[in-house]
Amino acid sequence: MSLGPDILKIKDLKKNFGSLAVLKGLTLTVRQGEVLVIIGPSGCGKSTLLRCLNGLEPVQGGQIIFGGQYLTDPHINWSRTRQRIGMVFQNYELFPHLTALDNVLLGLIRVQKRSKTEALAIAERWLTRVGLWDRRGSFPRQLSGGQKQRVAIVRALALEPEIMLFDEVTASLDPEMVREVLDVIVNLAKDGRTMLIVTHEMAFAKAVADRVIFMDEGLIVEDAKPEVFFENPATERARRFLNIFQFSDIHKPQEPSASPLAKEAQDVKESNDAKESNDAKDSKEPELS
Amino acid sequence: MDFIDWDFIVSRAPLFWAAAKLTVKLAVGGILLAAALGFLCAVARFYRIPVFNQIAYFYIELARNTPLMVQLFFLYFGLPRLGLVWEGQTCAIVGLTFLGGAYMAEAFRGGLAAINRNQVESALSIGLSRIQTLRYVIAPQALAVAWPAISATVIFLMKETSVFSIVALPDLMYVAKDLLKEGHSGETNLLLILSYLTIILPVSLFFGRMERRLRFAGFGS
Amino acid sequence: MLDSALSVFRMGRNMARLMEGLGVTLEISVVAVGLSLIFGVPLGLMMAGSNRPLKWLLRGYLEFVRVMPILALLFIFYYSLSKFWNINLSALTVSIFVFTLWGAAEMGDLVRGAVTSLPRHQWDSARALGLSEGQVSFRVIIPQAIRRLLPGVINLTTRMIKTTPFVFFINLPDLLKVGQQIVEVSGLRYPLASVWVYGFIFIIYFVICYPISLFSRYLERRWAS
């Protein structure tokens, strides 16, 4: 995959919640067309990092430079900037009073001031691509979790952002719906879209990432190619973290799987199970032990 | 009440009609202003806008924990002594707004508080401004949640208009009390009941209908 | 200015009379709330019951009381019953009657809400434990229903207190009526009497109702789940 110029530079980023330091001087560069998967234990600051990139959290120090613009400038016009940075959340926050189509149209019409026909054409193209055009009239409560999350992705993508942020987008889904959402993201990766993905789906991370960023205690501990990171992590902390997922593998009865594809689906499902037990103790405590 | 004197009813009905129009006029004015005032206070409370938040809290508690009649007596008989002279109608509308604004504020605030914080972030993340977020995302959902409380407040305020004769306004109660001097208390009371039913019942039915529609729309994601 | 305020309250028995007026206000509220509870509980159980015609009848009664201004009801019962039908009722009796008529309906609706909101399995699981019907009611259902009921009952109490000034219209010497009489008498000597007296009454209502509503909110929060 050919990578373009640097699109996002994060320098020495610091973020505190009160006296608790969540990001302790984080530095990272992302090139255009790159897919970064960010993993790490709960409370390591990975979600906070994405929220800082979308201006949802004020930062206490450092710089974020996106396409030549300083996002850490307090006078930045966030409304304009957020159209260039798409974000999808864990809890598929669709607007419950609007249909799937109206959810997608809202930003196109109200933010980008496009005409109704133009906006409709864009919405149709995207909803069709994720297989939900025929559900356009449904309200969020009538859609499954996976469908809602696909609409949420489309809602962000329709604004043609230059970079997409995915914050644990499958963490709240039933296991059987994880795949349909991940497939959409894999397809976007094939398009050469720049993406930052926070996830607990290890098999997915392995498949989609150009680089894996492993975070712990507010810092980047490893930054490596996926095959390197998953086969041979450089640090003890990363090895311990990956072991959590291994551990759950060992205790499951191994089903004989013929095709590699079925094996992958199995992995997705199991890492999802592991994630759930992991999330159960999700709290503000920064350490995992 | 062996029989009803229909002639009396027919001949006096126009008096009640005129009084009912006055009641409706004052109620509509007061309720609309109360909704506006309540909205501002709810926003000040919800976003915790410094100073305004505290002022709104103080006002809401003061207005909700005192009777309209006492508020009106103070406005109409007290304040003119301090140099602020009101006309009866102005005073009635100001009083109803003062009382109703606080109830409306609490109703709206309940609706706003029911909206998930993530909704705001989702709206901001697609580039909507704060005002647009309020207009297109928060307000429609909050209104649906707050509707039963708004509905109760509207009915309550319409009923409270019955005290306006104390500020010398010829409203329904005033007319009824005046007519009692002619005897015919049965007919007078019948006209009084019918007048209030005619004014308030349709409003009550309308709000109830809307409430059921909003409930069936069932926004729960 | 303050001098004139003090003088108004010191003049004659003014302060004592205001307190007597307050007594009337509180008497109506307390008695009406008590009676509303006594009548409201059985009404509410009937509203939650299975007798359909009775339920419709009670529903109609509730809606009528909700739509009609209390002042109109006071007026109608005072002037119709006591004057037209020659039943001589004191203004105090009529007030308590009308407030109870209203309060019992509202209380009934609160009781209905509390009872019907209890999940069905509460009865089933209590019976499954082998409790008698009486034990089911007194140990399981009623304690839970009271928790759901109490904030509403307290709320209704403050609404009643705030509605008491209506008795002014049937010449009952409540707090506001006494205040008005005092202003009429002393207004000539002290032009600011109306400011002080009505301001004072305003504050009295606030001092009574504010703590009660705080308490109701506290209970709501504590028993929220």
Position B179 scores a pLDDT of 85
Position A262 scores a pLDDT of 45
Return the closest-CA partner of residue A172 out of A197, A154, A149. A149
* Distance in Å, alpha carbon of B102 to nearest chain C alpha carbon: 14
Cα(B119)–Cα(A96) distance, integer angstroms? 9
- Report whether pLDDT(B103) > 80: yes
* Distance in Å, alpha carbon of C81 to nearest chain B alpha carbon: 10
pTM of the model: 0.78
Question: Could you tell me which residues come within 8 angstroms of residue B183 by beta carbon, excluding any fewer than 6 positions away?
Answer: none
Asked if B55 and B105 touch (Cβ cutoff 8 Å), the reply is no
Position A260 scores a pLDDT of 47
Residue C80, beta-bridge partner list: none
pLDDT band at B11 (very low <50, low <70, confident <90, very high): confident
Position B153 scores a pLDDT of 95
Q: What is the pLDDT of residues B53-92, one digit of tens each?
A: 999 999 999 999 999 999 999 999 888 888 888 888 999 9
Asked if B41 and B60 touch (Cβ cutoff 8 Å), the reply is yes
Asked if B86 and B76 touch (Cβ cutoff 8 Å), the reply is yes
Position A252 scores a pLDDT of 54
Q: What is the pLDDT of residues B89-102, one digit of tens each?
A: 999 999 999 999 99
Q: How many domains does chain C have?
A: 1
How many C-beta atoms surround the C-beta of residue B102 within 10 A?
24
Position C76 scores a pLDDT of 87
pLDDT band at A263 (very low <50, low <70, confident <90, very high): very low
Q: What is the pLDDT of residues A27-47, one digit of tens each?
A: 999 999 999 999 998 888 899
Which candidate in B122, B134, B141, B216 is best for mutational testing of the A interface (most A CBs within 10 A)? Answer: B122
* Distance in Å, alpha carbon of C47 to nearest chain B alpha carbon: 19
- Report whether pLDDT(A279) > 50: no
Mean pLDDT taken over chain B = 89
Residue matched to tokens 């009550």: B204
Q: What is the pLDDT of residues A84-101, one digit of tens each?
A: 999 998 887 899 999 999
Q: Work out the average pLDDT over A277-288.
A: 39
- Report whether pLDDT(A273) > 50: no
* Alpha-carbon radius of gyration of chain C: 22
- What are the distances in angstroms from CA B171 to CA B96, B166, B184, C169? 15, 10, 19, 14
Cα(B38)–Cα(B103) distance, integer angstroms? 7
Beta strands in A71-182, from DSSP E residues, in sequence order: 85-88, 163-167
Cα(C12)–Cα(A164) distance, integer angstroms? 80
Tell me the one-letter amino acid at A157: L
Q: Work out the average pLDDT over A156-168.
A: 92
Q: Is C touching B (3+ C-beta pairs, cut-off 8 A)?
A: yes
What is the set of domains in chain B, with CATH numbers? 13-216 (1.10.3720.10)
User: Cα A142–A145–A148 angle (5° rounding)?
Assistant: 70
Residue B82, beta-bridge partner list: none
**Quick one: closest CA in A to B145, which residue?**
A97
Q: Measured in Å, how far apart are chain C's first and last C-alpha atoms?
A: 52
Q: What is the CATH number of the domain that holds C200?
A: 1.10.3720.10
pLDDT band at A176 (very low <50, low <70, confident <90, very high): confident
pLDDT band at A267 (very low <50, low <70, confident <90, very high): very low
User: Cα A111–A133–A207 angle (5° rounding)?
Assistant: 85
Q: Work out the average pLDDT over A149-172.
A: 91
**Quick one: closest CA in C to B175, which residue?**
C72
Q: What is the 3-state secondary structure (H, E, C) of B124-175?
A: HHCCCCHHHHHHHHHHHHHHHHHHHHHHHHHHHHHHHHHHHHHHCCCCHHHH
Position C29 scores a pLDDT of 93
* Distance in Å, alpha carbon of A235 to nearest chain B alpha carbon: 35
CA B81, B83, B85, B91 torsion-angle sign: negative
- Report whether pLDDT(A54) > 50: yes
Q: Tokens representing A77? A: 């016009």
Q: Tokens representing B100? A: 């109703």
Asked if A5 and A31 touch (Cβ cutoff 8 Å), the reply is yes
Calculate helix-pair angle for C52-67, B139-160, nearest 10 degrees: 80
Q: Do A94 and B125 touch (CB under 8 A)?
A: no
pLDDT band at B105 (very low <50, low <70, confident <90, very high): very high
Position C208 scores a pLDDT of 95
Q: Work out the average pLDDT over A41-55.
A: 89
Cα(C146)–Cα(C156) distance, integer angstroms? 15
Mean pLDDT taken over chain C = 86
DSSP per-residue string spanning B63-127: HHTS-HHHHHHIIIIIGGGGT----HHHHHHHHHHHHHHHHHHHHHHHHHHTS-HHHHHHHHHTT
Q: What is the pLDDT of residues B179-206, one digit of tens each?
A: 887 777 788 888 899 999 999 999 999 9
**Quick one: closest CA in B to A53, which residue?**
B125
Asked if C37 and C197 touch (Cβ cutoff 8 Å), the reply is no
Q: Work out the average pLDDT over B30-51.
A: 94
pLDDT < 50: residue spans in chain C: none
What is the set of domains in chain A, with CATH numbers? 6-94+143-280 (3.40.50.300)
Cα(A220)–Cα(A16) distance, integer angstroms? 16
Position B220 scores a pLDDT of 44
Return the closest-CA partner of residue A265 out of A211, A208, A210, A201. A201
* C30 contact B CB<8A: no
pLDDT band at B116 (very low <50, low <70, confident <90, very high): confident
Calculate helix-pair angle for C52-67, C14-47, nearest 10 degrees: 150
Q: Which residues of A touch B (CB under 8 A)?
A: 54-56, 78-80, 82-83, 86-87, 89, 91-97, 106-107, 110-112, 139-141, 148, 152, 155-156, 159
Position A2 scores a pLDDT of 63
CA B68, C173, B192, B179 torsion-angle sign: negative
Return the closest-CA partner of residue B13 out of B204, B198, B161. B198
Cα(B172)–Cα(B16) distance, integer angstroms? 6
Task: Write out the residue range of the structural domain in which residue C190 sits.
Answer: 2-222
Q: Work out the average pLDDT over A95-112.
A: 92
